[in-house]
Amino acid sequence: MNASLKTKCRTVLALALPAMIESLLQTVVGFVDTLFVARLGLAEVTAVGVANTLLAVYIAVFMAIGIGTSSLIAKHIGAGDLITAQEAARRSTWIAMITGFIFGVLTLVFAEPLLRLMGADGEVLRQGALYFRIVGTPSFIISLMLNLGNVLRASGNTVSPMMISFWMNLIHIALDYLLIFGIFSFTGFGVGGAAVATVLTRVIGSALLVVAMKKSPVHFSLCRHAPSELRKLTWEIIRLSIPATGERLIMRLGQVVYLGLIVHMGTEIYAANAIAENIETFAYLPGLGLSVAATVLVGKQLGAKNYALAYSYGILSVLISVVIMSVTGVLLFFFTPVMAVWFTDQVHTASMITLAMRIDAFFMPPLAVGLVLAGALQGAGDTKTPLYSTAIGMWGIRVLFIYLLGVKGGMGIAGIWIAQGIDLTVKALFLYYCFRKLFKRIKSTQNE
């Protein structure tokens, strides 16, 4: 490996590793939260699960705003235009908070009807509405936290969000236990306590991110009056964010539909699939971290008009991701039988989980390619191609093949994960073709 390639690899990993660790911390705290609530009872854990399904839609929209922002900030930093990068950060923060406020009002007014749409009733509805209102009404805190984290990462600082996530995890676990179960004569608040712990942790996290932003090159004042020529940035952020929002919503809606199909296959298959998806979450982490690196590096180099370097960073991020996630696939293949028995003592259910993960192991390389190239394209300002790939993959392949293989073909859980693998492979090929096509077009424009 020559010195230049080593330097590039270090640059990619310096951005990716903190983002991977941050994603891991978020996954772990969600797991612990579910574990604590599960001790209260089935109604409580179901209520929180249903409410979090709706909150995941909110988060998907807030994250989509961040995708558009990340591309703009990275490009302008690469071009040496810090003033415009700061203004993009300021405007995206306003957009995120206003969007969060709107979602908060919707939650406060329509909590019960939304939960009924998800099938909640009785005690699940009562507990779910309590949790949903407490966590969802201050949605502007969620949107602010996610936006500030995105701004920092887009500026090349992935370490601060990681460290803040670490402290948030510790605080959340402590508050969760205290407010759910109580201590000494204090008996705790149950599901309400879990909700309050989550909100308090997010408030603390947002405050820490504000402090980190003040030390960032893209620091800004919310009340600053921007030059008139920069006001178009608002529409640019919205233009980039709309396809990203569409992609997230299409993905969520597709998940609702195919999970409905899985329900019809039987409770045991549904449970095995849910556990398998939880295990697979950890396999995603390298790809997610390297996707962040690809977004930042491709965006910065395009802003600096280093087109060849932008392309090489995108491809290098993909290759590193493929290597790491292939190793992850090998680990999944051999160690899933051990992990499966952590979740269930039913031998047949454990064998289905193992089968699902062993099928998934073979599709780790295309998963790696798809995750990273989606980030690279978004860094280049192309948020439409990932939308098309998700729409085609989710509805034209995954939902269709789960029905054909899993339901009609009687293949059960094997059909579900083969369908997912076909989706991942087609998506990876499509995104690779679009990424190459984009840079060929950039090169031909440059040569004119």
- In this structure, are residues 166 and 201 in contact, taking their beta carbons and an 8 Å threshold? no
**b or e along 375-408 (b: 16 or more beta carbons within 10 Å of the residue's beta carbon)?**
bbbbbbbbbbbbbbbbebbbbebbbebbbebbbe
Angstrom CA distances, 220 to 72, 81, 143, 147, 209, stand at 15, 14, 17, 13, 13
Residue 225 confidence (pLDDT) = 66
- In this structure, are residues 65 and 97 in contact, taking their beta carbons and an 8 Å threshold? no
- In this structure, are residues 50 and 128 in contact, taking their beta carbons and an 8 Å threshold? yes
Q: Which residue has the tokens 């491809």?
A: 315
Q: Is the pLDDT of residue 1 over 70?
A: no
Which of 261, 254, 286, 162 shows the shortest CA–CA distance to 212? 162
Between CA 148 and CA 417 the distance in angstroms is: 36
For the full predicted model, state whether its pTM sits above 0.85.
no
Residue 372 confidence (pLDDT) = 94
Mean pLDDT value across the chain: 85
Per-residue pLDDT tens over the stretch 292-348? 899 889 988 988 888 889 999 999 999 999 999 999 999 888 888 887 777 667 788
Residue 282 confidence (pLDDT) = 79
Residue 108 confidence (pLDDT) = 93
Question: Tokens in use for 365?
Answer: 């390389």
**Candidate from 28-42, 236-250, 418-432 with smallest mean pLDDT:** 28-42
**Candidate from 104-113, 300-309, 341-350, 384-393 with smallest mean pLDDT:** 341-350
* 155: confidence class by pLDDT, cuts 50, 70, 90: confident
Per-residue pLDDT tens over the stretch 418-427? 999 999 999 9
The HSE-up count of residue 253 (CA atoms within 13 Å, CB side) is 10
Residue 424 confidence (pLDDT) = 93
Between CA 347 and CA 411 the distance in angstroms is: 19
